[in-house]
Amino acid sequence: MAKRKPVQPASTSHTVPHYPSAGLLRRLGALLYDYLVVISLLIIAGFIGMGVAHLLLATGAATLPEGKDASWLLTSPIYSAWLAFIICGFYTWFWTRAGQTVGMRAWRLRIQNADGSNIRITQALIRLATAAFG
């Protein structure tokens, strides 16, 4: 009679699946798609900024130097911060909600933590800061 091997209990530890890193072409493709979406958002934000500039001029809350038009108000740091907020808001919203932007979804890329969960807002802001400042 052959000796039977004892049955070993199944391992209860969960192994995290390892996904391969995306290639350069896929990342650049997703970046191009996202640029198109971000540019359209910046156009809409520009319309809103121009409307606010005209509103400030109409109410007398802002004045223009001699020879300047309403677009001169859009050279302020406040307007630049508004546009930066739109860009950061776009990426933060999509990365924390679904782990993918529109371009990333088209190219089947995803940002996630090691356990498969979506990244947190602080992680998204850190990614944006390192992308902006190298």
Mean pLDDT of the region 24-51: 94
Q: In 23-120, which ranges are continuous DSSP H helix?
A: 24-59, 77-97, 102-106
Which of 111, 127, 129 minimizes the C-alpha distance to 119?
111
Contact of 70 with 95, CB cutoff 8 Å: no
**What band does 92 get if pLDDT is binned at 50, 70 and 90?**
very high
Q: What is the mean pLDDT of the chain?
A: 86
DSSP letter, residue 13: S
Digit-coded pLDDT (tens) for 56-66: 889 988 888 88
Residue 70, pLDDT score: 75
Contact 35, 29 (CB under 8 A): no
pLDDT at 9 over 60: no
Contact between 124 and 96 (Cβ < 8 Å): yes
Q: Where are the domains of the chain?
A: 24-62+72-133
The string of pLDDT tens digits covering residues 21-30 is: 888 999 999 9
Q: Which of 36-40, 45-49, 51-55, 59-63 has the highest average model confidence (pLDDT)?
A: 36-40
